[in-house]
Structure 1
């Protein structure tokens, strides 16, 4: 089966769906909905039935059942490259994929890399500056880097600084208590590990900063068609 065929592309989408559901079983229904919206754009009337069909083919581990029934509606995939489809999948599942990767690192007890990824996502702080974060930079959940470490770069218009989540703060406290510091490796080390775990071509660590900046601007990021994707 060639990479350019519609069947191969649907199979790649199906494999990504399996991977997401494996790590986030409680979100299975949401993932099924999003995948149908991606594979059958502009086919709103058939989405409810298609979601049921995709669920059945997923449970039976027979993805070709879905392909055969919706072959005509899936032909548009022949007009785009595999890389373009992977980019679309990456955009739609960006947040879910991030959560899965962060949880994977926690599961493997790689707390530093998980925290690095979480800070990048939650704050938009540049990857080069994250290893510079020390316990003295923490003011509750707020991160204020020294100005010599470009802390002023992250000051918002309203005068506030970026904050991390409660869980990220717990991980940070654990690391500081255990090893006396938060990060022990270089920026390149964490970025390389995250890139390998991400598993999709075109990964950019700056995507997290872009995402956070768009959120702060009031723009839904990571999903190009937010109005038609059920949440």
Structure 2
């Protein structure tokens, strides 16, 4: 009989994430260095455990009209069907059509950081996304509507007490439109997710939050399907200028 334990394996995943974030917070004093390290932990988590069709990076998002988002700590995007991802001097630029989710990574959850994450999410959701009809052997499928872009906040701890309570709920309720945060993980305490479009949230405290959050996000991404077919010529039009 195998001596493996699935419970221990899943618990170990959370413990690793929590410990790494805690070490970063305790040992790194420079805000920029601390922020880069935290983003790296989350991006590595997603790249290691999400299916290969997904990729996570710190990046800017751009649309075919030449509008750029703010810099986003964690962009989860399609890597299987995306025709182009720009890499330039260490910077990554991703077409808006390829994006599944965007997250802001901070050391702690508080009102300012929720508002900042909402601002970052708005800068992505406001971008224009193209979609072309899809040819197939029997004809052509109509253009697929753009998929929802999920937004969220990732932290190690919370400045609120309780960490997941009325104060967080009030902050999340400040923007239920373009800046809505659908997901969040406070690795030391729990995670949250929007239950529906009406602004109702479910808070899950205790347990192994990082692992539970990862599974919840993955299950939601499964329902997103595949990104639409990008109109490459809409981007190529910039070459004529």
Q: Give the TM-score of the pair, scaled to structure 1.
A: 0.27
Which has a greater percent of helix? 1
Larger RCO of the pair (alpha carbons < 8 Å, separation 6+): 1
Q: Give the TM-score of the pair, scaled to structure 2.
A: 0.27
